[in-house]
Amino acid sequence: MQGAANIVHKDTRKLKKTPNLLDYEKTYKTFNWQEAESEIDYFKDKTLNAAYNIVDRHAKGKGKNKIALFFEGQNGEKEKHSFLNLQKLTNKFANVLAFFNVKKGDRVFIFLPTIPERYIAFLGILKVGAVAGTLFPAFQEVALLDRLLDSGAKIVITNSVLYPRIKKIWSKLPNLEKVIIVERGSVIYPKDKRIFYFNQEMKKASPDFKIAHMKKDDFAYMLYTSGTTGKPKGVIHAHHDILQAVWTTKFALDVQGDDIYWCTADSGWVTGVVYGILGIWGLGGTSVIFEGRFSPASWYKVIQDYKVTIWYTSPTAIRMLMGSDVAVKEFDLSSLRFLGSVGEPLNPEAVWWSLEYFGLPFHDNWWMTELGGICIANFASLDIKPGSMGKPMPGIKAAIIDGDGKELPIGKEGSLALKPETVSSLMKTIWKNKEKYNSYFSYNWYISGDRAYQDKDGYFWFVGRADDVINTMGERIGPFEVESVLVEYPEVVEAGVIGKPDELRGEIIKAFVVLKAGVEATEELKEKLKDYVKKHLAGHAYPREIEFIDKLPKTRSGKIMRRVLKAKELGLSTGDTSTLEDY
Ligand code: 6R9
C-alpha cells in the first residue's frame, strides 16, 4: 500500500489477506439481496430469529468452542465465552424474561456499561421475541425518561451504579414493572419488591430455551435518535435486518474466519449494536469487549494483548490518538490488518497518519441509525481517496438528488439519498410516530438529511448536515434536547444551541443563553449551566461553550433560527432572513 498524490493505492496481492470483496465493480453489478439470503438461517416454518443467527447456529457446529467474546473489565479482569457458552447464558436469560412474563413485542431496555451481561441480556431479549433497547451509560434522568416513557419499557437491566438514575424517574414510568440489577462490581440491595438480581435469577434458569420464531419484519431492537425538533425518536429495526449487518461485516469490514475483531462503539449507539453484536457474531467471528476507559495506551494495549486484526472505531478517537504523545511504536500492533471508521467525517490527515503509524489506512464508511447497516464504504480492495466516504455497498443504490428527487450530475452537491428498497436493513418504523417515519421518504427516495456529492470515479464526499442536528464525537444530538434542559435552569429565559466546528470532536455544542433580567452573566454561571446539562441530560451532551446574549433570532412564528446563530458564530453571511422577526 502506498500513498501517492491524493490516493491510497492498494495492491490486493500485497494485503495480509485476500479481501472478501475482491472485485467491487463486478460484485456491485451482480449482487442481489435475494441470493444473499443464503448467509442467514431460517427455521423450517420460514420464520427466523436474529439471535439464532448470532449465537445458536454457531453453537451447534464445529465452531461451538470458538471464542465469541473476549472481555476485559475496567480493573483488568478477564473473561471469555465460547459460542456454546454464550448460547447457554442467553437461553438462561431468555428464560428469566419469560418467567417475568415478557412477551413478543414487549420493550426491554439495557442500561449497563460494556460488560458481558449487556450482550447476554440483548440476545436473551431477542430470543423471547421482545424488543431490545439500549441506553448510553452517560444518560441522566431527562434522556432516560424520554426513552423509557416513550417506549413503554417493561423491564430495565442495569447495575447498582446506574440504578439511582432510574429510581429518580420510576414514579413517572407507569409501564416499568421491574428492574434487574447486574451484580458485577459493587452491589447494593435496595429494598424494593420490583427489583431482581441478574445472577440470582440466572442460577434458577434452565440453559435450554425454545427460541421465539419471528417474522422477517417483527421488531428486534430500537434506538433513539435525535432530529432538529422534538424529543428523540425511536427507530425500530427488525430481525431480518441481520442480513445487511452480516454482509457489510463481511464486505465493508472484511471480517474473515480467524480474525480478532474490536468495535470500540458503545452499545448505546447503533454502531455498537449492529457491529458489536449482530454482524460480527452473525458471521461467527471473535469479538473483543473492553470496559476500560479510553486512553491511547489502554487502547493500544488491547490491540497488542488480544492481537486484534480488525479495528472499527470513530474519527474523534482517531484524532485523540493522533494528538497524543504515546508512541504507537511502544506497542506491538503488528496483528492489525484492517481499520474502519464511522460516525462523522474522517479527515484526510487521519488516513495519512494511520498509514504512516500503523502501515494501514483507516477506511471510512457511512450510514445512519435509520439505515441499520453500512451503506457507503471504502472497501479493502479499493483505492482510498482520503476524505471520501467511499462507494455504495453492493445491493445498495445511493445518489445525490435535488429538491425534486432528480439525480444530480457528477460533482454537483445535493441531498444524499438512497433507494429504500435496496437498503435491506432500513428501519421498519419510528415508534408511535408514523408521520415522522413517512417524512424520511419523498419521490421514492430515502432522504438522509446529509449533503454530499459524488465524483467521477463514483466516490461519495460528505459536505454537511442539511438540518441543525449536531454531531459531536460521532454522536447525534438534537439542539432541542439541550435547549430544553437549559431553560429548566431557574436563571435562564431561553437558549439556542448549535454545533460549532471543532478539530478534535468534529463539532462541539455551543449554547446561546438569554438570562432573566437582573441575573449577572458570569463565568461561574456558565460552569453551573454546563454541570446542569451534564447531570440532567447526559455526561457528553453538554455545551462546551456558552455565550450570553440579549435575544435569540427567531422566525415570525417563533422558531429559533439556529442557522443565524451559526452564521454569526462562524462569521458567515446570515443568508435569507426575510422570515426573521426583527433582529
Ligand atoms: C452510524 C452512525 C448518522 C449521521 C449521518 C452523518 C454522520 C456518519 C459519517 C458521517 C460523515 C461519515 N455520519 N458517518 N458523516 N462521514 N463517514 O453514525 O449513525 O449516529 O445515526 O449518525 O452521522 O451526518 O447522517 P448515527
Confidence check: pLDDT of 583 > 50: no
Binding site membership of 345 for ligand 1 (Cβ less than 6 Å): yes
Q: What is the pTM of this model?
A: 0.93
Binding site membership of 507 for ligand 1 (Cβ less than 6 Å): no
Span of 3-7, 32-36, 82-86, 502-506 with lowest mean pLDDT:
3-7
Q: Would you say 271 and 343 are in contact if contact means Cβ atoms under 8 Å apart? A: yes
Q: Whose CA is nearest to atom 4 of ligand 1?
A: 368
Binding site membership of 270 for ligand 1 (Cβ less than 6 Å): yes
Distance of alpha carbon 162 from alpha carbon 308, whole angstroms: 30
Ligand 1 mean position to 537 CA, how many Å? 22
Is the model more confident about 125 or about 569?
Answer: 125
Q: Provide the phi-psi class of 579: left if phi over 0, else alpha when psi is between -120 and 50, else beta.
A: alpha
Ligand 1 mean position to 62 CA, how many Å? 37
Ligand 1 mean position to 342 CA, how many Å? 7
Atom of ligand 1 lying closest to residue 389 CA: 17
Domains of the chain: 2-23+37-451 (3.40.50.12780), 470-570 (3.30.300.30)
Binding site membership of 451 for ligand 1 (Cβ less than 6 Å): no
The average pLDDT across 500-508 equals 94
Confidence check: pLDDT of 227 > 80: no
Query: Cell 449482487 appears where?
Result: 31
Confidence band for 68, pLDDT divided at 50, 70 and 90: very high
Q: Whose CA is nearest to atom 1 of ligand 1?
A: 368
Confidence check: pLDDT of 61 > 90: no
Distance of alpha carbon 440 from alpha carbon 416, whole angstroms: 12
Ligand 1 mean position to 573 CA, how many Å? 27
Ligand 1 mean position to 100 CA, how many Å? 37
- Whole-number pLDDT of residue 477: 92
Segment 410-425, tens digit of pLDDT: 999 999 999 999 999 9
- Whole-number pLDDT of residue 574: 66
Three-state secondary structure readout of 171-182: HHCCCCCEEEEE
Percent of the chain with pLDDT over 90: 86
Confidence band for 228, pLDDT divided at 50, 70 and 90: confident
Mean pLDDT value across the chain? 95
Binding site membership of 367 for ligand 1 (Cβ less than 6 Å): yes
Distance of alpha carbon 402 from alpha carbon 411, whole angstroms: 13
**What is the DSSP secondary-structure string of 37-87?**
GGGS---TTS-B-HHIIIIIHHHHSGGGGSEEEEEE-TTS-EEEEEHHHHH
Ligand 1 mean position to 309 CA, how many Å? 24
